[in-house]
Structure 1
Amino acid sequence: MWKRQVIFFIISPFVLIGCSLTEDADVGSVVEEEREEQEEVRAQAEAMEPPDEDQTIAEEFGIDEARIDQAYEDTNQAQETYPTGLTIPALDIDAPVIEVGQLENGQMGVPDNGEDVGWYEPGTQPGGAGNAVLAGHVDDRTGPAVFFDLGDLEPGDQVFVTGEDGEELEFIVDEMERYPFDDSPVEEIFGPSDEKQLNLITCTGVFNQENGTHEERLVVYTSLVEEEEEEPVLPVPTELTIQGDLLSWHSVRDEEIVGYRIYEIDADGEETHVGSVSQLERKSFLVNDQDTDYTVKAVDHFGNESDPAEEADA
């Protein structure tokens, strides 16, 4: 019995020492990881530029501009429509739309009859960002054609384009211009634009027998009527915590999110943007004042922000 006790007391300290060494090793490892994280965050903070409100989203979060362009292109394509019909109530026009291309001389092709309207297929589709162009004849050998009365349109008149899916896009007339047949502003009519434009073209003026065409071109500039879209509801960062001077949070798992903005909140609840962190970086930020409140918002490709993150319960 006594020997058992001796063995017990001899072995027991080694067991306790063994446990103690294991715990010390684990604590040491955790401390080392925290120290490395702090160093990484401090290095990230030192390299961080102060917020610049004139920066692009790509510049702010250090991502490829092509990624932002692709996001806009995807959104733009979702609003485009392949045109099959044109309706202009003020002129009692309801005409089919067909594809036309570019002629060998570089000019836009036109339908081979007076009833159809031609859509310049190499260019923008109606509804997309840019200048979509539709053209029709003012007359033909039998008399007035589809765009004979186009010059009677007035600013504010409606123009409707029907897509192959049956959906209609509404455009509003902005202005009309007449140009010499050989001196039209091609870039303005056909070129790129951030706006969603639809330009209607026809001939006008005296018919020049020598040149075989009318002396002027009439261009009706219209713009898309867009429904007000609700701002997207983005997922909110979670597990926002402040330990010492380290603010941290959990990332949002959403491919649309490109980064996070950190805001300082004053006593009146006013928010001041104090930093930005890319989705690819560690989700941490060194705060300047530990007695001040902070929050974090997720940001998508277009600069839309989520609701502010709330500090996690201790």
Structure 2
Amino acid sequence: MNKRHLFLALSLFCFGFWSWTSAQESSSPPVEEKQIEESPDLSAEFSLLQEEVKKLRLAEEEESTKAVTPVQIQIPSINVDTAIEQVGVLDNGQMGVPVDENQVGWFEPGVKPGSKGNAVVAGHVDSKTGPAVFYELDQLKTGDDVTIIDENGNTLLFRVTKTENYDTKNAPIDEIFGATSNRNLNLITCSGTFGNGGYDQRFVVYTELVDSEIKSTVELDVPTNVTLSGNLLTWHAVRDDAVIGYRVYEVIDGSATRIESVPSHARKSVEVTNEQASYYVTAIDRLGNESAPSE
């Protein structure tokens, strides 16, 4: 899939009154351009044949039907039940924020909730008049539930996996917005001490989809008969039409590095050169699911 250019800076995640009343009057420093990949470009990685590319696109279309356009969020443990606005990137390169301090904003150019990747929802912690929608976000703990509802009343249930508090300059943009094979929803607000530049910290709640109707992981068979003869590594194909290729990893001192991607229609072998290393192979399906390592 194509990469998107997201213009993000952690200064944009401060949802206090001074940052959202007027984007044009914002005194935020210049934003940093980040290039975040939505998902692995499997057709490029594995040099797929035309028929395989067609199957890949059909699988991606089927995958997209599992996602929803969110209109409402419910977080029972902190009594949040509010509407969701769609926000994007402003003309000045900044991420949009919710107009209403009692609603939240979903970053629409990113991932839809329910699809693979990191969907992001942000809300104000306070406003000129007092506490706002995410004032108690820092009270969430592992195991708490977050429900997303679409315009048709369909619901997706997410569960908190962890919470983190970051200094503005050190928050991990890729972890919050970047590609992942999980179906995540990340909630953001500002925290810490308020000063001339706004709040100096960002609070992030990481959640993962637990809706039983959507299977988030796929168990692929592991490549077998992996053999190293001299400098030639060979293996047997996985008998599964969904498998589009294989990844070969080199292991040195316990650290694994991917060294080759082999399409399913190619010969199941690669030349390796490091006599001190060990190697394993994994299978990849059309949706980017990866099998366990070969033995």
Decide: shared fold, TM above 0.5. Answer: yes
Which one has more relative contact order, counting CA pairs under 8 Å at least 6 apart?
2
Q: 1:161 aligns with which of 148, 151, 157?
A: 148
Aligned length: 186
- Are residue 218 (structure 1) and residue 218 (structure 2) matched? no
- TM-score normalized with structure 1 length: 0.52
Change over 3 Å in CA distance of 1:151–1:61 after alignment to 2: closer
SS in 2 for 1:215: strand
Match of 1:264 in 2: none
Alpha-carbon distance between aligned partners in 2 of 1:84 and 1:229, rounded to the nearest angstrom: 20
Distance of 2:287 and 2:100 partners within structure 1: 44
Distance change in 2, residues 1:229/1:194 (3 Å): closer
Hey, what's the Cα distance between the residues in 2 that align with 1:191 and 1:184? 13
1:110 maps to what in 2? 97
Runs of 4+ displaced beyond 4 Å: 56-65, 300-303
Alignment-mate amino acid for residue 221 of structure 1? Y
What is the alpha-carbon root mean square deviation over aligned residues? 3.4
Correspondence for 2:218: none
Is this contact kept in 1: 2:167–2:202, CA < 8 A? Answer: yes
Structure 1 or 2: more helix by fraction: 1
Contact 1:61/1:258 (<8 A) preserved: no
**For residue 180 of structure 1, what is the aligned residue in structure 2?**
167
CA contact (8 A) 1:80 1:127 kept: yes
| TM-score, normalised by the number of residues in structure 2 | 0.56
In the aligned structure 2, how far is the partner of 1:220 from the partner of 1:177? Answer: 7
Say whether the 8 Å CA contact 1:123–1:132 is kept in structure 2: yes
Change beyond 3 A, Cα 1:77–1:61: closer
3-state DSSP class of the match of 2:56? helix
1:104 deviates by: 4.1
Paired residues of 1:71 and 1:301 also in contact (CA < 8 A): no
% of aligned pairs identical? 41
Distance in 2 separating the partners of 1:106 and 1:188: 21
1:60 Cα shift?
12
Partner of residue 120 from structure 1, selected from 104, 107, 119: 107
Query: How many Å separate the matches in 1 of 2:191 and 2:178?
Result: 22
Higher Rg of the two aligned structures? 1
Deviation readout 1:62-103 (Å, 9 max, x if unpaired): 665533431332122111100000000111110100111113
Structure 1: runs of 5 or more not aligned: 1-55, 231-256, 260-276, 279-299, 304-314
1:78 paired residue among 65, 70, 78: 65
